[in-house]
A and B are shown apart, each in its own frame.
Chain A
Amino acid sequence: MMNLLSGHMEDWSTPQYFCFAIRCEVCGEFWYSSSIPFSKAAQAADCLEKKELYDAIYQREKVRAKLAAGKEARELFSQCPICGRLVCDSCFLICDEIDMCRECACRMKERGEPVMP
């Protein structure tokens, strides 16, 4: 699941903040992860001669921020077992037989209740 989420993550990070976004494949809404500031943002701006060093630190912190964003997204995104798309809790229905996305449910005329109405 974490791999699936990582694969769908878009990088919205700036030199000062780390932020990632995942787009629901049903409703198209973006979900943004919590912004995590770069710890050396101020130093990196002031001390350009150490740019390579700060870049390395930036990349390391970005990996950690992506991992945290994955964990955050795990709370909200599910994979539809029918169509295999990554959908948000608003578009994911809990049905009687098997949970699925809203579109699949509509297509198969299955009734269900969204996880997050």
Chain B
Amino acid sequence: MLDKLKELRMLNAFAKRQSMGMQRKLMFYWVSMILVIFMAVILLLFIAGVFSRDDEQLHEVMELHLKNGQDHLGNHLENLTAEGLNLSKELSREIEGILMREGVSLEEVNDNPELLLRLQEVMYPLISTTLQTGNCNGAYAILNATINTKLDGAEHSRSGIHLRYSNLSTSSLINQTVVYFRGIPDIARQKDLELHNRWNLEFDIDQIPGCQELMNTPLERPAECYFWSRRINLKDTWESAMLLCVPIVGSDGTVYGVCGVEISALYFQFSYPTVETQFGSAVTVLAPVQDNRLLLSDGLTGSVNGTYLDGLETLLIHQGRYYNEYDTGAEQYIGLHQNLLISKGEVEDDIWVVAIMIPQNSYTAYTVDKQKTWIMIALMLFLVLLSLAFFLTRKFVRPITDSLKRFQQEETLEPGVFSGISEVDELAEFLNARARSQRLEQGELPPNIAELFDQFIERKCLLTEAERNILRYYIDGYEIADIPELAFISMSTVRKHNRKIYEKLGVSSRDELMLYIDLIRRCGRLQELF
């Protein structure tokens, strides 16, 4: 690390020693400044949340869909629960009436096919009505009695009726065909119903978790304890469904059985199609959460068009700021979920949630598109700024470089030509003055000065020998006061000579005379004065 730091310092020192063009250096400063400003703008935009706007937007969209889904599904399940409770109440009254008329208890219904038939005959219209009025694809009622207690598996076989719609499709949800899935076939014949191709006489209540416990628990009224089962496979079929289990409670608290409605996975898919958003297809899910995992296999999944969900996955939930991530292991989904209370009592205590999910890939594709746009805009802005920097640098440096070029070509800058930069003009003036001075030192004189010198030297011939003698003292550097001593003449004589000398050489003072002498000396023409 220290070695690298040393290398960097050496590199920096080397760079400092290198001579760099003014334009390149200025450009470097400009680019540095642009980069700093650019970074500051990016940082500000980042702080302002411009780059997380997609996440916020997604959050808003998801929240809206979740609220809609929750309201819709909540109402749906509440209505079905109400239907189930109503069915339970009606069934309870009918069953209790028959049992009272017959003077038997529910246990005595076991092994009594005639009584079971009579009970199912009164149960059928209620179940059928519930099926037709409820927003579901099946309705059922199970009596806590079996037709033959001596058969194998009689302990988990219970008599009842289960009516279902057979030809579910999105186009014919209203006009459905009812099939007889469970129950005594005499009723199907009476009502002219088609038996399901996987028809069974009785229910296998082991298939419905919690059903047995519900039938064995005495209750005062059905609303005390009911639940929606987890998704179960309907025996001998490829279909799966969630069942609302409401106890049929007699006036004495005896539970005669369980009734409710069915929502199959297929029906749920038709009822809850995917919602197309700008971020991708949103899927509605009703599923239990256990150990921070969303169990799709135990719940229902809406239409999965546009996603790779098959409704059987277990999704690990990662809570996020704007949305949650649901990881199947192979696929990732993003969305939101909200708890939904669908059961009551102690039988079922799972936490159920409504979730809206979209594939992360589609959201990533959307954001990548937007990011590409941002990057393109940023790059274009950067290029524009670079071009501007280049243009300004060039404009700034050009007069300087032009001036330097003219100096290099031994040209004198014209006095009337200005670069527009005061320092450069001052430098040019200074260099001009120095160049003139150098020329003088080299013996070169401006044409007018040379003429003056020539005239001065020519006038020297007008001096007398005595005056020339005095001039020579001046040339040798003596002062006026020194001359009487040197020439043995009076000061008045010296002054008189001076006046003559000034007059003849065309100067007005001794200072001017000395300036001429000095300049002529510098030009190397002093000998011409002797």
Contact = CB atoms under 8 A, between A and B. Distances in A.
> Do A and B come together as binding partners?
yes
Contacts of B373: none
B492 interface: yes
Contacts of B464: 94-97
Contact of A99 (B485, B491, B493): B493
A41 interface: no
Contacts, number: 52
Interface residues of B, number: 14
B484 A1 contact: yes
Interface string B488-502: 111111001100100
B465 A79 contact: no
Contacts of A57: none
A95 B492 contact: no
A92 B465 contact: no
B493 A115 contact: yes
A95 B465 CA distance: 9
Central interface residue in B485, B490, B492, B496, by most chain A CB within 10 Å: B490
A77 B490 contact: yes
A106 interface: no
B465 A4 contact: no
A116 B465 contact: no
B376 interface: no
A92 B494 CA distance: 12
B493 A89 contact: yes
A75 interface: yes
B485 A94 contact: no
A76 B489 CA distance: 8
B466 interface: yes
Contact of A94 (B466, B488, B491): B466
Contacts of A74: 484-485, 490-491
B466 A116 contact: no
B465 A98 contact: yes
Interface string A78-107: 110100000001001011111100000000
Given A94-B496, A97-B464, A115-B496, A78 B485 contact: no
A53 B484 CA distance: 37
A89 B490 contact: yes
A45 interface: no
A64 B254 CA distance: 158
Given A1-B484, A1-B485, A2-B485, A98 B492 contact: no
A78 B465 contact: no
A79 B485 contact: no
Given A94-B496, A94-B497, A115-B496, A78 B488 contact: yes
Interface in B36-65: none
B485 to A, nearest CB: 5
Contacts of A96: 464-465
A77 B497 CA distance: 15
A2 B486 CA distance: 10
Nearest to A86: B488
Interface string B463-474: 011100000000
B489 A78 contact: yes
Nearest to A3: B485
Contacts of A4: 488
B463 to A, nearest CB: 10
Central interface residue in A4, A74, A97, by most chain B CB within 10 Å: A74
Interface string A47-62: 0000000000000000
A99 B489 contact: yes
B493 A92 contact: yes
Contacts of A115: 490, 492-493, 496
B490 A94 contact: no
Contacts of B465: 96-98
Contact of B488 (A75, A81, A98): A81
A95 B484 CA distance: 17
Contact of B490 (A81, A92, A95, A97): A92
A78 B466 contact: no
A47 to B, nearest CB: 41
A99 B466 contact: yes
A92 B488 CA distance: 12
Interface in B478-530: 484-485, 488-493, 496-497, 500
Nearest to A89: B492
Interface string A1-44: 11010000000000000000000000000000000000000000
Contacts of A116: 492
A67 B97 CA distance: 167
A75 B466 contact: no
Given A76-B490, A92-B490, A115-B496, 14 more contacts: A74-B490, A75-B491, A76-B492, A78-B493, A81-B488, A89-B490, A95-B466, A96-B465, A97-B466, A98-B465, A98-B466, A99-B466, A99-B493, A115-B493
26 contacts: A1-B484, A1-B485, A1-B488, A74-B485, A74-B490, A75-B490, A76-B492, A77-B490, A79-B489, A81-B488, A92-B493, A94-B464, A94-B466, A94-B493, A94-B500, A95-B464, A96-B464, A97-B464, A98-B465, A98-B466, A99-B466, A99-B493, A115-B492, A115-B493, A115-B496, A116-B492
